[in-house]
Each structure stands twice: as structure tokens, then as C-alpha cells.
A and B are shown apart, each in its own frame.
Chain A
Amino acid sequence: MTTLDIAFAGVGLVAAASGLLAVTTRHVVHAALWLVVCLGSVAGCYLVLGAELVALVQLLVYVGAVVVLVLFALMLTRAPIGPNPEVTTSRAHRALAAVLGAGVTALLLSVLLPVAGPARKRPGTSNTAVAEQVFGTWVWPFEALSLLLLVALVAAFAISRMTRAAEVAQSALPEMTAPERISQ
């Protein structure tokens, strides 16, 4: 047991515990905040394993942007302080989810446990190596993914423009007040 092992076990436990809390709490916003802790400790896992760049990107994208978006959406809708009874799911759902989660865990364990041997080495992957892999070996999948994202982005813009055009047409109606028109 090296210090890195202990650190990895620590952040792993935190990640697992916060993930569990995120799905069991009935405070909607608390769930999102536990998700922050979970994603942050996953970033910690990456860091302990020597993948610094991945850890930072995880932090920047997931903690800094995705969860903020989730929280933003929660605040825009009704997110009361305190437990929200509407969030509960039926027993059948819960049982199904537990079975599914256990199944995924078992699958992962069955794949990963044979690989985990006593001899562990943690090669620190340098940023240059990651870049060479991404823009060398994996450049075509990478480009395909970015193209997909671009298409999705353009489509999102198009959809928002379409609804906006419809609203503008509506705003020609006489009962529309000036501030509403401005807000559009």
C-alpha cells in the first residue's frame, strides 16, 4: 500500500458515497450538489492515476459547466428547499434500478478484476502523448465526433430560430404589449 493507493481508495470511496447520496436524496438541488462531489472525486481518481489532463478537463467541463447547467435548469423550474415528495419513484422502479446498477457493477468487476494484478505501474501520461494519440491515431473518430457536435449545435440554433420566428409572427397581434415584444 503506497500513499497513492490510499489516496485512490479515499477519493474512490468519496465518489461512490456521493454518487449513492446523489440518487437517494429527495432534495433535488442536493442531488445535483452531490453529483458535483461525485464528479469532482472522479477527477481526483484520474489525477491519482496520473491522467492529469483528463482530470482537469473533467473538472472544467463536468463540474464547471454541466452541473452548473443542471443547477441553472433546476433553479429556473421549481426547486424548493427541503425534501420534495414528487421526486420519489415507485418501489418497482427502485428495485429495477438497483438490479441494473448491481448488474453493471458485476460486469465491470468481472472485466477489471482479472486485469488487476499485484504489479501495478502508473505511467504518467504526458499531455504531448495524449495529444499525439488524439490527433494521430484517433483523429478520424475525433473529427467525426466534433462534426456531430457541430451539427447538433447548428440544429439547436435552427430550432430556436424557428420558434422565435413563430413568436415574432404572433407578436404582431394587437394585444401584445411593448415590453413583451422587447423581451423577444
Chain B
Amino acid sequence: MTDVLEVTLRSVSVLAAFLVLPLLVGQAEHKVMAHMQGRLGPMYAGGFHGWAQLVADGVKFVQKEDITPAAADRRVFRFAPAVALVPYLVAMAVIPLSPDLVAADAPASALFVLATTAVGILGTLMAGWASANKYSLLGAMRSAAQLLSYELPLVLAVASVCLAAGSLSLGGIAQAWSPWWLIWQLPGALVFLVAAVAELQRPPFDMPVADAEIVFGAYTEYTGLRFAFFLLAEYAGIVVMSLLFAVLYLGGWQGPFSDQLGWLWTLLKGLVIAVVIIWLRVAWPRLREDQLQHLAWIVLVPLALAQLALTGVWVVVSA
């Protein structure tokens, strides 16, 4: 009976984190982006500096009509948002905030996160194809090409860290982390950050949803709650990737008073990375499709391979 209770408690807390953290990141994006552009951002919803803006947005999305285009493949069209959303929810369950604070302690959790986020691509592909819209199809193809290209450097960068720590578990990696990694794993960290932003289809890698060219890519035909799910998936993706970066490259919960405040350290480091991802969106223009592929295959993959080789040599020599 206690098992059932514990499982329920863990699931509910993951769901709560999944619903709250993306909203936090979204609100941070609203305000940080506004101030980086000399604006104030939302100021009214909720009273104090528009803190409830995203809640209000959610209420708005719920009220909107849920339209399925007549020519669309109805079942695939309706199912796509769930396919995009659920993998991040599952991935969030295995990310540890502190040694004890993890919803599901999987032995190969680093690989698990990569595998589940890779499934998320399918949601975009399904949405783009089932919309029966040329812009959607173009967007879906762009995102498929982009995500396939950037999956490789992402996996290679994570592999390097796993090799350095001698563990496939996120908890084990964070435990093995030392400040020396900041320099040693720096190329891998940069590759991971760039590839993560590309995986999330965030600017400067937002070619699949380039609104000036293809309206909103695969999400063009979506309205209401289903559209909101895609947005939620994007911000949940930022949360997952930021926390993953914090755990893999910044030592997760390591810091002063890590016994009591370890979870806070992980969250703070993740938040910093999330702000950096937002910052990149504000500061940099969008990459062209060919530049995008160029960057992935000519720069990131060799860099990640070099990092992997360096890590391997170091691990063998120091062992």
C-alpha cells in the first residue's frame, strides 16, 4: 500500500514540476526578453509585474475553438501534441535534483533522457504531415532534418561526460563531477548547449517554425489547447535541457550546503542555463537551413568527436 502511495506521490510531484517549471521559464522569457529589448513585458495579469500572464494565456487557449482542418488526417492530427509533450514529461522524471530527490532512479538515466527526447520529434513530424498544409509539411521536414543532424553531437557530448564519470546514471555523473570538468569538458559543454538549443528548435535554430517563411511550421494549423500543448512541450524541453546541462556539466547539486540545499543549487544552475537559452534567442538572428546543417556536421560533430577522444585518452591515462 505504501508503495502505491509513494508511486502516486512521485508521479504527482513530477506532474506538478512539469506544469510549474515551464511556466516559470516562459515567464522568465517574457520578462527577460522584454527588458533586453528595452520594454517592460507583461505588467497587468495577476497584479505584480504580470506574474500570472501565462496562466491567463492558458485560460485563453482553453477557451479557443479546437479546429481540425477538413483535409487533415484527423486521428494523427489530434494525437500529435501528446506525442510531442509526453516524452519531456517522462524525461523529467529521471532528472535528479539532489542525490535523494529524483522521481525515478534509473540506472542508465542519461541514455533514458536522450532516448525519450528523441521520440518527441515524432510529434512534430506527425503534426506537420497530418495538417494537410504545405507550410506545415515544410516545417516538419525542416525539423526532421535538423533534429536528426543535431541528435548526433548531442549524444556524443553526453557520451563524453558519461565516459569521464564512468557512469550512465545522471546521479552518478553529478557525483563524479569536479570543478576541473569546467575546463576539461568545455568543448563538449558548448556542443551540448548548441545542439540542445537546436533540438528545441529555439532561435537561432528556429528554421522549422520560421514565421516569416512558413507561418509557424508544423504548428500552423493548430489552435486552442492543442497548440498550447506544443508550446508547453517547447518550454518543458527548455527545462529538461537546462537541468540536464546543470547536472552533466555544472555538477548539479554540488555547492555550499549541498546537503540541505542541493536541490536549490540544481534548480538555480538550470535556471541560469534557461536564461542563457532565452538570451541567445534575443541576441542572435536565425540560421539559414544550409548554415544549420553546415554547423552540425562540419563544426559540432568533429568537435564532439575530439572531445570524446580527449576524454577517452584522459580516462585511460589517469586510470
> Which residues of A pack against B, CB within 8 Å?
27, 29-30, 33, 36, 40, 52-53, 56-57, 59-60, 63-65, 67-69, 71-72, 75-76, 79, 81-82, 126-127
Bound Cα distance from A29 to B118, whole angstroms: 19
Minimum CB–CB distance from A10 to chain B (whole Å) comes to 18
Bound Cα distance from A72 to B144, whole angstroms: 7
Question: Does chain A have a CB within 8 A of B24?
Answer: no
A72-B141, A72-B144 known; A126 vs B121 contact (CB < 8 Å): no
A29-B129, A71-B129, A75-B141 known; A36 vs B122 contact (CB < 8 Å): yes
Minimum CB–CB distance from A42 to chain B (whole Å) comes to 14
Question: Does chain A have a CB within 8 A of B111?
Answer: yes
Q: What residues of chain B lie closer than 8 Å to A79, measured between beta carbons?
A: 129
Q: What residues of chain B lie closer than 8 Å to A33, measured between beta carbons?
A: 76, 122, 126
Q: What residues of chain B lie closer than 8 Å to A56, measured between beta carbons?
A: 108, 111-112, 115
A71-B129, A81-B71 known; A127 vs B168 contact (CB < 8 Å): yes
Q: What residues of chain B lie closer than 8 Å to A60, measured between beta carbons?
A: 111, 114-115, 118, 155
28 contacts between A and B (CB under 8 A): A29-B73, A29-B129, A30-B73, A30-B76, A33-B76, A52-B108, A53-B108, A56-B108, A57-B115, A63-B115, A64-B115, A64-B118, A64-B119, A64-B121, A65-B118, A67-B122, A68-B148, A71-B122, A72-B148, A75-B128, A75-B129, A75-B137, A75-B140, A79-B129, A81-B71, A81-B73, A81-B129, A81-B130
Bound Cα distance from A82 to B130, whole angstroms: 10
Question: Does chain A have a CB within 8 A of B132?
Answer: yes
Looking at B114, B144, B151, which has the most chain A CB atoms within 10 Å of its CB?
Answer: B144
- The one of A67, A68, A75, A81 that contacts B147, using a Cβ cutoff of 8 Å: A68
Bound Cα distance from A16 to B175, whole angstroms: 42
Question: Does chain A have a CB within 8 A of B312?
Answer: no
Bound Cα distance from A67 to B83, whole angstroms: 14
| A68 and B168 contact, CB distance less than 8 A | no
Chain A residue at smallest Cβ distance from B112 = A56
Bound Cα distance from A64 to B155, whole angstroms: 12
Question: Does chain A have a CB within 8 A of B116?
Answer: yes
Question: Does chain A have a CB within 8 A of B72?
Answer: yes
Binary contact track B92-122/A, C-beta < 8 Å → 1, others 0: 0000000000000011100110111011011
Q: What residues of chain B lie closer than 8 Å to A30, measured between beta carbons?
A: 73, 76
Bound Cα distance from A56 to B119, whole angstroms: 11
Minimum CB–CB distance from B162 to chain A (whole Å) comes to 10
Bound Cα distance from A10 to B223, whole angstroms: 35
Chain B residue at smallest Cβ distance from A43 = B115
| A68 and B106 contact, CB distance less than 8 A | no
Task: Beyond the given A60-B115, A75-B140, please list 9 additional residue pairs across the A-B interface where CB-CB is below 8 A.
Answer: A29-B76, A30-B76, A56-B111, A57-B115, A59-B115, A60-B114, A68-B148, A72-B141, A127-B108
Minimum CB–CB distance from B213 to chain A (whole Å) comes to 15
Interface size on B, residues (CB 8 A): 32
Chain A residue at smallest Cβ distance from B74 = A81
Q: What residues of chain A lie closer than 8 Å to B72, measured between beta carbons?
A: 81
Question: Does chain A have a CB within 8 A of B145?
Answer: yes
Question: Does chain A have a CB within 8 A of B273?
Answer: no
Bound Cα distance from A142 to B112, whole angstroms: 23
- The one of A27, A29, A72, A127 that contacts B107, using a Cβ cutoff of 8 Å: A127
| B125 and A71 contact, CB distance less than 8 A | yes
Q: What residues of chain B lie closer than 8 Å to A57, measured between beta carbons?
A: 111, 115
Chain B residue at smallest Cβ distance from A82 = B73
Bound Cα distance from A64 to B199, whole angstroms: 12
Looking at B71, B72, B118, which has the most chain A CB atoms within 10 Å of its CB?
Answer: B118
- The one of B107, B112, B115, B118 that contacts A126, using a Cβ cutoff of 8 Å: B107
| A59 and B76 contact, CB distance less than 8 A | no
Bound Cα distance from A40 to B132, whole angstroms: 26
Minimum CB–CB distance from A82 to chain B (whole Å) comes to 8
Q: What residues of chain A lie closer than 8 Å to B108, measured between beta carbons?
A: 52-53, 56, 127
A52-B106, A60-B111 known; A69 vs B148 contact (CB < 8 Å): yes
The A-contacting residues of B in range 131-177, CB under 8 angstroms, are 132, 137, 140-141, 144-145, 147-148, 151, 155, 168
| A59 and B119 contact, CB distance less than 8 A | yes
Chain A residue at smallest Cβ distance from B126 = A33
Q: What residues of chain A lie closer than 8 Å to B118, measured between beta carbons?
A: 59-60, 63-65
| B107 and A52 contact, CB distance less than 8 A | yes
Bound Cα distance from A100 to B111, whole angstroms: 36
Q: What residues of chain B lie closer than 8 Å to A29, measured between beta carbons?
A: 73, 76, 129
Minimum CB–CB distance from B271 to chain A (whole Å) comes to 28
